[in-house]
Structure 1
Amino acid sequence: MPQNSQDIRKAIEAKWREYLSKYGNLFSSDFVSGSSPPSVFVGSYNYPKVAVGPMVPPIHGDTSLLDAPEHWLGKSLEEIVNYRLNLIRGIQKVSVIDPSGRYIENLQEIAMAEKPTDSDIQFHKSTTPIISIDGESAPFGPIGEIKSAKFSNSSPKKQIEKVFYDKDLKAQDAVLSLYNSGIEISKIQKCFSIGMMGKKRKLVPTRWSITATDDIISKDLVDQILNYSLIDACKVFSFEHLGNLFSVILFPHRWIFEMIEAWYSHGILGFGSDSEDARGINHPPAIAGAYFAAKLAVAEYLVKNKIQSGVLILREIRPEYAIPVGVWQIREGIRAAMTQKPQEVSILDEAIDIACKKMSITKSEWMPKGSILKRIKQMSLTDFF
């Protein structure tokens, strides 16, 4: 019997407090010395003058796992929450339109660093450990206003350094250049956020940079997909992690994409969805960053296999996903789904049956919430005229 969300949160919270009873002094000090994974953060509150700074755990060594979502598949919710809570966030208020000065240069050096960066940060006053976790927003560690900061020299990743010094390269082209040279998406997002790309450079709040990066990359992938031949059968992929159950249906059709999400809130079933055809999406998706993260992951699969299809993604959010940890888990969850052996059938309706059987929510509940079947019927009708 799965636990409810509140019980899971309380259990994770209790273990974290137990950890703090032994090591709390590391999180309640006016000074932190540790190795940044490397990681930087740009807030959105009070935009355009926002809180900007490094994220540093109170430990030295190889801390890279603490902020490397691409390596978190298979980790438990508790482990991921602990990674987040261990990162102390140093901040200074900076205008987004002027990413200059030694402080920002230091953060840019951290963002392009190949390995964790040793950091010593003095705060104006002691930080306060985080002792409670809610189920509404992603957890994060203590925050302190920086009085002074020292960072060790670190070797930059050559591909990022090249993009950083190319002031004539558009931000979009910089993102694609890094992605195509094998730089991890989470790393690209940090560099985008801290004002390292484009002709007119500015800081971009972390939350926005994550969505923008996924959007830029997925659009480019879809442009490639439109040149490929259609698949000749329906395929159903599935994967579950962190209380998220994904079913991905590919079907013979020119690129068309829809994602439907379902969740329980106080016993009531809620849904969200959005979709696009080959022209793309022309409005902010109703399901926000989840849309672009999912689209990127499935588009990678199609490009890798040089095929084109229609795509329907169902995401069931179960009570076990008691603490949201970010849209990276959607991207990585669907990437993992696309490595599984799919079930193949010839009819889309059968594929939807298979996808829905893996879930606790029925086909009759899912289908009215989406528009892809209506779109396909309309497209088929226009073929006759």
Structure 2
Amino acid sequence: MSPPSTTCCAGRIFPPSCRRCRGGRAIRRAWGIATAVLALIAILVALRANRGAPPNVLLVTLDTTRADHIGAYGDRRAQTPHLDRLAAEGVTFERAITAAPLTLPAHVSLFTGLYPFAHGVRNNGNFALSEGIPTLATALHAGGYRTAAFVSAFVLDRRYGLARGFDRYDDGVGLERRGDRTAAAVDSWLSERSQDHRPYFIWMHLYDPHDPYDPPPPFREAFADLPYDGEIAFDDRVVGALIDRVRRSDSDPSTLVAVVGDHGESLGEHGEATHGMFVYESDVRVPMILWWPGRLPAGRRVPALVRSIDLAPTLLAAAVCRGSPARRARACCRSLTGNGTARARRTAKRTFPACT
């Protein structure tokens, strides 16, 4: 597949002209999308063409979560029944790679479809996203969505630029808050707006697997020797409770759920205790699951390499917002899908840390 023109540059959500990126060979090369994601976008666009109302969109980001510590990704010791069920009923990307092994740059890449060298947020705390760069939230808000974000750590405070496009940005968390408290805030927001029938976009960020590893009871006792896995098991329960609420209350429009890790954790591999310095698989391979009952193929597993920056265009393809952002999203999807068949991605390149 030939790379798209520079009107859809650098993996951006929208295809406006971009002087910074125009003509850059490396950026055009970065637009190569894995075959599976191309096919999924085509499926989503076709599904949206046959439906009247846009779906609700629920994005759950799991901080510091390795894919290989989840049951659906092969860890037989894991206690992640809710994530495993989502995977069984949805689409599981087996080799999803994040754009950065740090929370803020990884999330900015997730929301913009840009690598850190393009969006400029290269570390935690020292950079903020430019107001001129569109995000998944600004696109959906402009398309008529109610938008709300609920984060669990100070590193994603509004001062760093991700609050744009959200009607509510719940970041009053101190240094961090437990995932069940973040989920309770989501539940309250949904209850308060139960009579508002506009589609919603909710982003819930869970921070529990980040060090120090100290899961709450009963996971503390059950995972006394594996506290990191206990934190993941705790977040699995939090996600499961929220999905159960969606199952009970969902009508029309339905809800598209995306669960994705922001980055992994070394756990002592390669001489690194946690994360942020290297780009080994332990740091950059993350879980990515899409769940949309009746509209996405249940139990599909995608072995090809995909990137976290591919997710925002995929969600926009499902929403297909009205107005100018909608036209841009459709144009971007046309560039992504093209007319031919793309080859599966076999390699992925990463350059980090923040000094690059």
**TM-score, normalising length: structure 1:** 0.22
Larger Rg: 1
**TM-score, normalising length: structure 2:** 0.23
User: Is the strand fraction higher in 1 or 2?
Assistant: 1
Structure with bigger RCO (C-alpha 8 Å, 6+ apart): 2
